[in-house]
Amino acid sequence: MIYILHGEDYEASYLRLTELVKTYSDHKQISLSDRNNIEDFYLAVYSVDIFEFRKVVVCENYLTDRKVKENDLNKIVSNQKVIFWEKSLLPANYVKKYQKFAILEQFKPKPVLFWFLDSLTPQSTKAIKLLKSAIKSQQESLIWHLTNRIFQLILVKMHISLKNAALINEKKINEWQWQKLVIQSDQFNLRSLLLFYNGLLRLDYLIKTGKTAVGKETLLTMLLLKYLRN
């Protein structure tokens, strides 16, 4: 059985990955990341365990990075459990090929999230208005998405190239997405973005460690008012 989880909603796809792995709790789990090579993949997927342990293999970005090809997937036997966790959306031609022999699940962020992230500009009142809807649509992952957007704007502001920004961010960035980031970053100065980023990290820490009794919406509203006022 082959599963392919792909899409830009990193948090949702990760939760689904965790859920899938739990269904195979009696299997030996093997995780492959960018630290592994194709030989590790062959060994994990195609080798026969002499002790006959059942196993589930999780491959991170192996399709996006083109470490494996269609023919490699065709060779996977039906009783083998392999999960491909892709942190970006696969091209339509990939989806068409893979859906013949794999279960594909796509994770798209809700449009309101993009509206909110795109509205982040100095003196913006729209961001405050969209905050409540954004929290509702991305209850668990909004802070992650917000922090990631500010981090991307910092990379642009530091004149990092698109290619290097994608490597640093460990996620593909399309040309049209990059141009939107360039336009958005032009409205900030680097110091404001760095302060905003540090504020988000601090807020995330306070929430996760239970060191604040103030609600997430209130904290984020205060943060936006503080760092979007300049």
Give CA–CA dist 186/157, Å, rounded: 8
Assess whether the region 2-106 and the region 111-227 belong to the same CATH fold: no
pLDDT of 50 strictly over 80: no
Per-residue pLDDT at 216: 86
Edge-to-edge strand order for the sheet containing 28-32? 28-32, 55-60, 81-85, 2-6, 103-106
Give CA–CA dist 220/199, Å, rounded: 10
The answer to whether 96 touches 121, Cβ cutoff 8 Å, is no
pLDDT classification of 151: cutoffs 50, 70, 90:
very high
The answer to whether 6 touches 88, Cβ cutoff 8 Å, is yes
pLDDT of 48 strictly over 80: no
Q: CA 102 from chain center: how many Å?
A: 21
CA dihedral of 204, 209, 212, 217, whole degrees rounded to 10 = 40
Domain range summary for the chain, segments of one domain joined by +:
2-106, 111-227
pLDDT of 52 strictly over 70: no
Predicted confidence (pLDDT) per residue in 175-205, tens digit: 888 999 999 999 999 999 999 999 999 999 9
Helix, strand counts (H, E) of the chain: 11, 5
Entry pTM = 0.58
User: CATH for 2-106, among 3.30.70.20, 3.40.50.300, 3.30.465.10, 3.20.20.70?
Assistant: 3.40.50.300
Average pLDDT of the residues of the chain: 89
User: CATH for 111-227, among 1.20.272.10, 3.40.50.360, 3.30.310.80, 1.10.10.60?
Assistant: 1.20.272.10
pLDDT classification of 213: cutoffs 50, 70, 90:
confident
Per-residue pLDDT at 77: 83
- The Cα-based distances of 107 to 17, 19, 88, 113 in angstroms read 12, 14, 9, 13
pLDDT classification of 51: cutoffs 50, 70, 90:
low
Q: Which amino acid is at 187?
A: Q
Predicted confidence (pLDDT) per residue in 130-145, tens digit: 998 888 877 678 899 9
Per-residue pLDDT at 70: 86
Q: What is the mean pLDDT of residues 32-57?
A: 85
